[in-house]
Amino acid sequence: MKITALHHVTILVADLERACAFYQSLLGLEPDPARPDLGFPGVWYDLGAGQQLHLMHLPNPEQGLLRPEHGGRDRHFALAVSDLASLQARLDGAGIRYTRSRSGRAALFCRDPDDNALEFIEEKP
């Protein structure tokens, strides 16, 4: 047996509409209409190469847990972007705080409206 890819990442959100505004309006992701009825609200986003991000509108057992300011010191998922400066401009325009990668890489960390940490790594085509 060999693990061959990351299929999806699932995160919990308290307000699905607010989360969709972040992931769709700010980050430009498109909902995947293939999400079946799972008995609770949610959205799937196709990230390409068979990878997805799943939002689940369910109670968060860690609500109120103190998180580190820098997302790189917390559990997070990383997304590749083609233009980090463009993303920074979007985050600045939306008033979303972020920190640069402490490794010196072309990367930054921010949090979504539910305090989930995201890393964005610039990968030029």
What is the tens place of the pLDDT at every residue in 9-62?
999 999 999 999 999 999 999 999 999 999 999 999 999 999 999 999 999 888
DSSP string covering 23-74? IIIIT---B-TT----SS-EEEEEEETTEEEEEE-S--TTTT----SSGGGS
pLDDT at 62: 85
Higher pLDDT, 98 or 69: 98
Task: Give the separation between CA 8 and CA 21, rounded to whole angstroms.
Answer: 20
Q: Which CATH number characterizes residue 36's domain?
A: 3.10.180.10
Are 49 and 86 part of one and the same domain?
Answer: no
My answer on whether 31 and 76 are in the same domain is: no
Domain total in the chain: 2
* In the predicted structure, residue 65 carries a pLDDT above the cut 90: no
pLDDT given for residue 70 in this prediction: 85
The reply to whether the predicted model has a pTM over 0.95 is no
CB 29 within 8 A of CB 23: yes
**CA distance readout (Å), 18 to 11, 25, 116:** 14, 10, 13
pLDDT above 90: residue 63 = no
State which residues form the domain around 88. Answer: 69-125
Residue range 83-108: mean pLDDT, rounded? 95
Does residue 110 carry a pLDDT above 90?
yes
Residue 64 lies in a domain: no
* Integer Cα distance of 81 and 111 in angstroms: 16
* Res 61: pLDDT: 85
Indicate whether 51 and 86 sit together in one domain: no
Residues 29 and 81 reside in one and the same domain = no
